[in-house]
């Protein structure tokens, strides 16, 4: 404080001394009128006085500027606080910054829908992430959150290689879960349910999103995956008889779908999963009773569905490439690898999807169902759907 005061006083003294000397110089000189000096000598002295006055004015401005700077810096010094002493210690592992939070003023035409990728020990998660980043139209509207269970080092390195393009969070509890003796071989299904509960809690409780698209690390997406969910989101919010939007058709084998109607969507009473959109309000309902295992089968129970439907496409917008898993490839080899993935872009956001509202859908769809000819289940087992045309079992 003493040093600052001395500097201010020095500047003020310099200012006063300069002006005193200038006044003394001007007063000590004889009058410089043209009558006291003749011709050229008078003009020369007059020019000198003018130059001196100009120099004095310039120096005056410089000194004033110097005083202003001294004053400004003295104020800044007065506001500065000493930096706290940091205690030595090992650096902390910082979690990735949370994605942006949706606010109430979010534009309904461009909703922010985070994509939650559930990962474990598949380093092939790269295939999933590459397609998500390739087809994602906007990083702001579709932030990617990868939630990793299992603690698998190679998978963690793959996820980390994407840098700021994804947010990498880790399920902290990797312990085994006590299970009934007859369920020991199902330990993996218990861990999956635990991971889902934790990851969805992060999305809706920590990051406070109002909706989320959930995929797993062995899913590949179609080119219009994001377009589909963006278009269906307003419908899900507006129609209380819907509780999810899914990218998956459980009957989506190539020989059983009409690829020429890739824009066609349905309501279904079956929970498809495998790339699905839910609202935060649904998680408020499900979280308190979330099951310890077999979460997807639990979702299909009437107690959870409560008469509500999901939207699903004629042609799937996801396909699975993950033969390795808790089911040991049983369902993959028999069924999952034959699902047809849509390969052309449908501009869903420019289509009228109001036909999917409950009253309108039932008014148009139910007559079509009951007008279709009945067929026996045996006739369907040969996957001759194209030859049979529209039908009902």
The catalytic residue positions are 296
Contacts for 64 with CB less than 8 Å, ≥ 6 apart? 15
Alpha-carbon gap, residue 1 to 82, rounded angstroms: 14
CB atoms closer than 10 angstroms to residue 355: 13
Q: Among 285, 315, 113, which Cα is nearest to 215's?
A: 113
Alpha-carbon gap, residue 149 to 190, rounded angstroms: 12
E-state strands within the chain: 115-119, 144-148, 167-170, 211-216, 219-221, 242-246, 265-268, 276-279, 309-313, 318-320
DSSP letter string over 326-377?
TTTTHHHHHTGGGBPBP-S---GGGS--GGGSHHHHHHHHHHHHHHSPB--H
Interhelix angle 125-135/153-160, nearest 10 degrees: 20
Alpha-carbon gap, residue 134 to 96, rounded angstroms: 22
Is residue 227 a contact partner of residue 348, using CB atoms and an 8 Å limit? yes
Q: Among 194, 321, 338, which Cα is nearest to 257's?
A: 338
Would strands 219-221 and 318-320 be described as parallel, antiparallel, or unpaired?
antiparallel
SS3 148: strand
- H or E element, residue 19: helix 2-28
């Amino acid at each position: 404080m003493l040093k600052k005061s001395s500097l201010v006083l020095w500047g003020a003294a310099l200012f006063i001394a300069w002006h005193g000397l200038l006044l003394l110089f001007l007063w000590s000189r004889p009058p410089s009128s043209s009558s006291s000096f003749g011709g050229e000598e008078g003009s020369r002295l007059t020019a000198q006085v003018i130059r001196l006055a100009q120099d004095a004015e310039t120096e005056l401005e410089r000194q004033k500027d110097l005083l202003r700077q001294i004053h400004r810096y003295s104020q800044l010094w007065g506001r500065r606080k000493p930096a706290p002493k940091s205690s030595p210690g090992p650096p902390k592992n910082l979690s990735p910054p949370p994605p942006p939070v949706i606010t109430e003023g979010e534009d309904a035409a461009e909703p922010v829908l985070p994509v939650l990728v559930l990962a474990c020990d598949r380093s092939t998660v790269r295939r999933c992430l590459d397609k998500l980043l390739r087809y994602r139209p906007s990083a702001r509207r579709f932030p990617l959150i990868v939630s990793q269970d299992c603690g698998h080092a190679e998978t963690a390195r793959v996820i980390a290689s994407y840098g700021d393009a994804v947010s990498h969070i880790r399920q902290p509890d990797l312990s085994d879960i006590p299970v009934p003796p007859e369920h020991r071989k199902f330990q993996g299904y218990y861990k999956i349910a635990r991971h889902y509960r934790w990851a969805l809690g992060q999305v809706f409780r920590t990051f406070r999103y109002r909706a989320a698209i959930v995929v797993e690390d062995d899913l590949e997406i179609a080119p219009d995956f994001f377009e589909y969910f963006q278009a269906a989101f307003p419908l899900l919010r507006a129609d209380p008889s819907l509780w999810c939007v899914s990218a998956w058709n459980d009957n989506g084998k190539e020989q059983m779908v009409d690829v020429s109607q890739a824009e066609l969507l349905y309501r279904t009473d079956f929970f498809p999963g495998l790339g699905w959109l839910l609202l935060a309000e649904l998680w408020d309902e499900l979280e308190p009773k979330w099951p310890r295992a077999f979460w997807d089968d639990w979702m299909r129970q009437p107690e959870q569905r409560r008469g509500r439907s999901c939207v699903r496409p004629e042609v799937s917008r996801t396909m699975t490439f993950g033969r390795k898993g808790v089911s040991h490839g049983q369902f993959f080899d028999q069924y999952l690898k034959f699902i047809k993935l849509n390969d052309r872009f449908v501009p869903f956001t420019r289509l009228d999807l109001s036909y999917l509202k409950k009253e309108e859908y039932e008014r148009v769809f139910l007559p079509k169902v009951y007008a279709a000819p009945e067929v026996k289940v045996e006739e369907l087992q040969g996957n001759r759907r194209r030859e049979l045309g529209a039908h009902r079992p």
